[in-house]
Structures are given as C-alpha cells and as structure tokens.
Amino acid sequence: MGQTPRWSRLGRLAALAMKELKVVLLDQRARVTLIASPIIQLALFGFATTLEVKSIELGLVDRDGGRVAEQLVAALDGSPNVRRLVLYPSEAALGDGIAQREIIAGLILPQRLSADIAAGRGGEVQALLDGRRSNASQIVGGYLDTVVTRAGATLSSSGQLGARAPPAPQVLVRHWYNPNLDYLWFTMPSMIAVITAVLVLSVSAQSVAREREFGTYDELMILPLHPWEILLGKVAPAFLAGLANALLFVAMIPTLYGVPLTGSAALLLVAIVVYTMSLVGTGLMISCLASNQQQAFLGMFFVTVPLILLSGYASPVDNMPGWLQPLVAINPSHHMIVISEGIFLKDLPPGLVFGHLWPMAAAAITTFAAALLVFRARRE
C-alpha cells in the first residue's frame, strides 16, 4: 500500500466518488428529489414562513347601535388587513365563532357607548381573542388597539376629551437592514441553511448504512484505499448535491425574490462549503453508527429536527432559555443562518463571519473524526 503513487490513489478516490455519484443519480426519481425538490421547497416553504398576520377574519357584537360601530366598521372594512367582518347577535355567538375558528378575534361594543363618548365620559370596547393562536392574536390585538384608539380620537375630536391634552412625544422607528420588515428578507437567507441541512443529512446518512444493509460493506473494506478515503468517496454525492443547491439558492434569492446581497458573495461561498462539510460529517457519523437504512433514517431525523429548531429559523434564538444556549452555540445551522443573514442583509465584515465560521469547521472535523473511528471499529 505504501508504495502506491499519490496520483493513482487520488485517481481511485475520484473513481469511488464517481461510482457513488452514479449510484445515487442512476435512479430518475432520486435525480428529481435531489435537484428539483430543493427549488420547489425554496419557493413553497420560503413563502409559507411568515409570522406576519394578514387577511384576518373578525367579529363584531354591537349592543350600542350608535356612531362608534359605524366608525369601527368603516375603519376595519377599509383595511387591507381585514378579509371579513362578521356581525354576531350576541357575545355567546361570537364566542362560538372564535371556538370554531371562524374568526380570530371579535369586538364587543357595550350599551350606551356612543352616548358616553358624546358626553365626554369615555368608553371601553371589549376584545375577545383566540388564545390558541397566541402569536397571531397578539398581533391582531395590537392592531385592534390602534384602530379603536384612533376611532375614539375621531369621534371626540369635536370636543370634550383628549383635545385638551398637550401633544405627546412619538416614537420614530427605523428598521435597519430591512426597512420595510419584509419577512422574505429573513426567511430566504435562512432557507439556504435549512434546506441544505435536510438534503445533505438525508443523503449522507444513507451512504454507509445502505452498504451494510445490502451486505456490500465488506467489498467496501477491500478497496485499496484508506478508511478515510473510502468515507470521503462515499459522501461525495451528498456534498456535491448540497453545494450545488446552496449555490443555486444564492443565485436565485437576489434575482427572483429581490433580497439584496449586500456583503461578499465569495465569503458566503466559503461559509457554504464549510457548512456543507459539517453536515456531511454529521450524516456520515449517523450512517456509520446505523446497521440498516431505517436506523440511519431515524438517526438522521433525531439530528435534523433539533438542528432546525435550535437554529433561529423557526423561532428566535433570543427567546430560548439559557441552558439551551450551549446547544445553539455548537449548532452549525445556527451559525450558517447568522452568516447568511449577515452577508445578505448586513454586509457582515470578514472578522465577524470568521467568528461563526470556525465553530462550523470544528463541527466538520469532529464529526468526520468520530465517523472514522466508528467506521474502523466496526469493520471486523
């Protein structure tokens, strides 16, 4: 073995990688899943990921029958946020409407409300919101608060209340990096990390486990290559598929979705390569531990879900409890999302990118070394 010229070893490694690539791409459906599905996912799930609340359905119970209702209906009906405004005869009917999810929230106007406001006593409108949809109804609550306060100001502008109050200071808000708080600007860069993770982990987790299930593991071992070279060859398809898709996303996101790429594309590519390697290492480790494809698949799932949920994509990392933060710190997907958001939106300087690059590199080396250890230990 020791005498083998270097070039021929490299040639063998390349041959193994080519063979693996052919095995995966031979199946037409596999080609479709590897190439078409990430693009479909980007379109589908990218648009689906929104914490905005639009086109809401609201209810109204009007016990007052005066000008307040007119004012509120006019304000709500004209709003692009409201898709439908349903009038209910009673509070109980409104409650049923919320229970059956016909509406997300309802307003209840008490008796003599208009009269109270006209007389300058001020009034209170009740809002009933669906706590099952906690995030959405909080946003709706904030929106209704604005509408009701504004309606009150309009009604009483003629006189008694509020007009006497001196002007109050306001808050001028500026959203940096994303002036209109466009949610797509957040989701698209994170989708690079999430879709690549799902793709690369699922492909690489099957690599060695499949050989074991088919009983071709021994044939693999007699290849005139080092174990680490065999593993590198095995994961070539996962690595290339992940890389190809991630690069495609980087091209698609600014052109098709209009998300600005403010930072250095070269730096982003480096990060993607390192990230894909960390995913490949993780998938490989699972694959070496599994004794059949089902176990590999389950192992992959056990890792993918925490990776995605602790990445900051589904919910902000800031909201997670302190004892989970160490797990976040070693999660390659989290670092990739920070880098991706940073380079797309914030023009992140190289120094800061590097701070998130080395944990991914460390994860790549650790997982690959662990995979190698398991692979060697289990070859007898």
Q: Which residues contact 210 (CB under 8 A, 6 or more apart)?
A: 293, 296
What tokens were used for 87? 């009038």
Nearer to other proteins, 11 or 141 (CB): 141
Q: Is 305 near other proteins (CB under 8 A)? A: yes
Alpha-carbon distance of 344 to 338, in angstroms, equals 10
- Measured from the CB atom, is 15 or 44 closer to other proteins? 44
How far is residue 147's CA from residue 153's CA, in Å, rounded to a whole number? 10
Q: How far is the CB of 4 from other proteins (least distance, A)?
A: 32
The DSSP element (H or E) to which 60 belongs, if any, is strand 56-62
CA 25 to chain centre: 28
User: Concatenated DSSP letters for 312-366?
Assistant: TSSS-GGGS-GGGHHHHHT-HHHHHHHHHHIIIII---HHHHHHHHHHHHHHHHH
Residue number, 47 or 358, with CB nearest to other proteins: 47
Scanning residues 116 to 135, which ones bind other proteins (CB under 8 A)?
Answer: 117, 120, 122-135
CB 186 within 8 A of CB 260: no
Tell me which residues in 131-160 interact with other proteins (CB under 8 A): 131-139, 141-142, 144-145, 148-149, 151-153, 155-156
Of the candidate spans 14-22, 163-171, 224-232, 271-279, the one that interacts with other proteins by CB under 8 A turns out to be 163-171
- Residue 172 touching other proteins (CB under 8 A): yes
Site residues (CB under 8 A) for other proteins, limited to 348-377: 348, 352
Q: Which residues of 182-213 are buried (b: 16+ CB within 10 A; e: fewer)?
A: bebbbbbbbbbbbbbbbbbbbbbbbbbbbbbb
Our CB check for other proteins shows the closer of 76 and 225 to be 76
- Cα(310)–Cα(194) distance, integer angstroms: 11
Q: Mark 176-215 with x for binding to other proteins (rule: CB under 8 A) and - for no binding.
A: xxxx-xxx-xx-----------x---xx--x---x-----
Total of residues contacting other proteins (CB under 8 A):
115
Task: Return the residues of window 229-288 that contact other proteins according to CB under 8 A.
Answer: none
Residues 331-350, interacting with other proteins (CB under 8 A): 338, 341-342, 345-346, 348
Specify the stretch interacting with other proteins by CB under 8 A; choose among 12-20, 91-99, 243-251, 365-373: 91-99
Q: What is the rounded distance in angstroms from the CA atom of residue 249 to the CA atom of residue 259?
A: 11
Q: Binding to other proteins by residue 92, rule CB under 8 A? A: no
DSSP structural state of residue 169: P
Helix (H) or strand (E) holding 35: helix 28-48
Residues 18-37 that bind other proteins (CB under 8 A): 24, 27, 29-30, 33-34, 37
Is 52 an interacting residue with respect to other proteins (CB under 8 A)? yes
Compute the least distance from the CB of residue 55 to other proteins, in Å.
5
CA distance 284 to 297: 12
If one asks whether residue 80 binds other proteins (CB under 8 A), the answer comes out as: no
